[in-house]
Structure 1
Amino acid sequence: MSGATQRANRPWKTATLAGMASYLDSGALVTSGIAIGGSYAGALGLDAGTIGALLGLQTLMFAAGALVGGRLGDRFGRRRIFSLSLVLYAAGIALLLIAASTGLLYLGVIAVGFAIGADLPVSLALINEEAPEGKKGRLVVYSGMLWLAGIVAVVVLSSIVGSWGVLGGRIMFAHLLGVAVIVLILRMTLRESAEWAAARQAVDTHVDTERVHFSRVGQLFRPPVLFAVVATGLYYASWNLGASTLGSFGTYLWTTLTGGGVAEFSQLTLLGLPVGFVAGLIFMRAIDRPSRNFWFVGGSILILVAWALPALLGPSRFTLVAVLLVSGLGNAFAGESIYKVWSQELVPTLLRSTSSGLTMAFTRVIAGLAAFGTPALAAANPRLLFALLFGFTLVATVIGLFWVPKLPKASQIEQPLVTGKSSTSNSESLRAEMS
């Protein structure tokens, strides 16, 4: 294979191996919910309070991991941090796999939550930085496709072993452990981000000292970077309240408000996944083109319509199915997909994973706090719940349509050494050294 072909294939290899963080994230969330909430519950004597504490702790540890891992990734490099985080992930999954006591379950969810939180912002930064110009958004959106793939894999596996009790739960965790080990080995073949290395070198050697180096944490909280952090954080958190409610409490809302069955809701969820996958493929083709704004507007409108239906008409089988399917289609063109792209485009290199970690952590904490009151509000006043979710989605839409487009791109505010034409020879030499 020629050197040119190897270079052409490398961005997709990087995007796949780094993007598997999304696969392992969704896989861990769904597997933990099924295994801890079902397969392990009876055998290990887990009551409702313990199950809630375990799953909630995993979410909070994700937030902590995103904060810590994101900053370390900017300071010490993408490759080093996402390798260490995957080692911790594998160790945590192994604990959940062999757990015969509540103590091991707590250790496992702490390790897994922290590890995947640390991995995601660093992995996204590496995907963006290694992608060629004109394909950066496409490869970042591709990581979202791997998130869907993780859900599909776990749901299919659970349909086979879900009724096997503890053994079924252990098999599901074994699947994640096997994937994590394989990905870890293959990640060892990846090189460090040349863009990060060039930016780090510029700061460490005080190159072009008359220009501002965006590398200090304090610069996250000063213009122009502050506006990108606040806009992306508020957009992601506002949109995610609806998505996390549907993900965490969809089955509860379906069974409580419509009298439907658990298996019935799972089948409807599976029905929506292929639609989201196909829509994601379409968005991958559009994301680096001007037409992405058209798709973003369309996706945002679909999400608004989805949450407006139960708010106006009340919860029913029809309105909840509409929320599930219509918002699922809209989310392919808005929501987390576009947030991931913005978080890479708008923030300078040496603050990129720090910023992503901060906004991801903020979003998870907000979702976790909201989850405490969701069941009670759904039972007391479901229309109010859906009206609030519609309202937060509207806030996200306004931010995405009118604020984000006015923000400067990272390439406009970073020094030329990192992003401009003058960086070409320096980046190529760094790539050659690291290959």
Structure 2
Amino acid sequence: MTTEKVKLTRDNVMLIVVAGLASYMDAALLVSLGVALPIWAKYLSLNSWLVGLISTLLTVSVAVGSFIGGWLADKFGRVTVFNADILFVAIGSFIIALSQDVTVLFIGVIIAGLASGADLPTSLAVISERMSKKLYGRAISSTQIFWTVGILLSQLIGFLTANSGMGSPVALFGWIGAVALLNWCVRVFSKKFKTIETTLAVEESAELDVQPLTKTYKISDLLKHRNILLSILLLTVFYLFWNLPANTWGSFVNYFLVTVDNRSQAFSTIIALIANIACLFSTFFYFKVSDTKYRYPVMYGGLLVGLIAFVTAGTFSNYWQAFTIAYICYSASNILWGEALYKIWTQTFYPVDARASLTGFSYGIVRALTAVFSLVTPTLMAFSPKLLLWIMAGCTLVSGICALIIVKHVSKFKMTAAALEKE
């Protein structure tokens, strides 16, 4: 972290907006699916296992897309993959929006998930290799604003269409498809954006005094470096146990409030909307402190609030009011210690030309394991809501321990990445 304040330029901001929409798509797909699940369960007569399978398909597809997309980006060019994958997000989203049976729904979920998974590590690498290291915190954490807006806007659309039956999924995923299509047009056809991509890459190479040449790394070779292996293990475990609660409530908070707490679809959607407004404010706050000495004190505070929220919800699991308040508190705090930090760390712990591959590798593992948990989540909710909430508390604790260990090794991990880039 730096004490010197460097401003984001207009070109920086445009790049962040265009590439940051990958985070918007990731969150919007996840949350829109969660909003639509109880509707599909009703109109398509789905049991709890099929509900879990739909969510799992999305998560597995994102995981596979991350594995493949990160590797393709570093092998064939990050901009090339960056320009292509968003189109398939649009295609998959439109298929979901128009689906009237489970088979077509599955096809749309798989296509959208694969493309979204490929876009995330690629877009982060596109941003980081065109930004000064003095801007990493703000540049990468700003993608969380798009992630939060994706959640918030999906919940808002879900609330406005709560009484529209199958019209609600049409609105939710039709909107995602339209945004993805517009984003693809900018990436591919905007001369101004192409100029920004090229200019920022050259400027950053000049600042670092390196040639803008692409190096080729094999993941297997990189993992032979002790610090690379240690960092990816710690980051993956940290993000996994942060992501399990985040994915659970992103996908199933509406389902939980409707089926377990016996609240209405409108109630569940408005509570999620309130929670994510709180999350949005936290995201703007984090953007301000992400490049300062307060980054890690804020992380400790967010961890503590999240842990207390789940412990409280688990202790008073028979009261829907307790879960509602705990969920809002968790949503307001999780941005301070989770995915934003993971993104910042992945873009600083690895060489530039290996970031997409290693981030995709780590992200893919996390999403694959999260998918397994998603498959049993609805059944676990029906079996014991209390047990589920205590599992969430345990996940928060494990993630927090990993975060504390990573903070102690930050300098060492950065030095290893810098040394590899100079080889």
* TM-score, normalisation: structure 2: 0.86
Q: 3-state DSSP class of the match of 1:340? A: helix
Residue 351 of structure 2 is aligned to residue 348 of structure 1: yes
1:219 — aligned with what? 221
Alpha-carbon distance in 2 for matches of 1:278, 1:85: 30
Shift of 1:387: 2.4
1:203 corresponds to which residue? 215
Within 2, Cα distance between the matches of 1:296 and 1:359?
Answer: 21
Report the counterpart of residue 262 of structure 1 in structure 2: 265
Letter in 1 for 2:269: S
Residue identity in the other structure for 1:184 = W
Tell which deviates more after alignment, 373-382 or 178-187: 373-382
The structure number with the bigger radius of gyration is: 1
Question: Is the contact between residue 381 and residue 388 of structure 2 (CA under 8 Å) also seen in structure 1?
Answer: yes
Within 5 A, what are the aligned runs for 1:43-58?
45=44, 47-48=46-47, 50-58=50-58
Indicate how the Cα distance of structure 1 residues 361 and 351 shifts in structure 2: closer, same or farther if over 3 A, else same.
same
- In 2, the alpha carbon distance for the partners of 1:7 and 1:333 equals 21
- Are residues 1:338 and 2:350 paired? no
Paired with 2:29 and 2:171, the residues of 1 have a C-alpha distance of 13
Partner of 1:117: 117
Distance of 1:231 and 1:173 partners within structure 2: 35
Q: Deviations over 1:99-156 (max 9, x none)?
A: 3554432321111010000000111122222222322111111111101112222222
Q: Find the residue that maps to 2:133 and give its secondary structure.
A: coil
- Report the count of equivalent residues: 403
Q: Could you tell me which amino acid in structure 1 is paired with residue 32 of structure 2? A: T
CA gap 1:341/1:369 in 2 versus in 1, 3 angstroms: same
Q: Which amino acid aligns with 1:130?
A: R
Change (3 A) 1:308 1:122: same
**Gaps in structure 1 of 5+ consecutive residues:** 1-5, 205-214, 421-435
Aligned mate of 2:292, from 289, 311, 314: 289
Give the 3-state SS of the residue equivalent to 1:203 in structure 2.
coil
1: CA distance, partners of 2:360 / 2:205:
16
Distance between the aligned counterparts of 2:115 and 2:371, measured in 1? 18
CA contact (8 A) 2:152 2:277 kept: no
Q: Which residue of 2 aligns with 1:18?
A: 19
For residue 342 of structure 1, report the CA deviation from its aligned partner.
1.2
Matches within 5 A, 1:76-91: 76-91=76-91
Q: How far, CA to CA, are the matches of 1:109 and 1:350 in structure 2?
A: 30
Taking the aligned partners of 2:346 and 2:75, their CA distance within structure 1 comes to: 18
Paired residue for 2:96? 96
Whether the 8 Å CA contact 1:220–1:355 is kept in 2: the answer is no
Q: What CA distance in whole angstroms lies between the structure 2 residues aligned with 1:411 and 1:403?
A: 11
- Distance in 2, Cα, partners of 1:104 & 1:314: 37
Cα shift at 1:98? 3.6
Aligned residue identity for 1:47: L
- Aligned counterpart, 1:253: 256
Distance 1:313 1:106 in 2: 37
- Root-mean-square deviation (CA, aligned residues, Å) is 2.8
Which secondary structure does the structure 2 equivalent of 1:260 belong to? Answer: coil
Cα displacement string for residues 178-228 of structure 1 (whole angstroms, at most 9, x for unaligned residues): 211211121232325456996772637xxxxxxxxxx22113422221111
- CA distance in 2 between partners of 1:54 and 1:84 (Å): 25
Task: Give the TM-score taking structure 1 as reference length.
Answer: 0.84
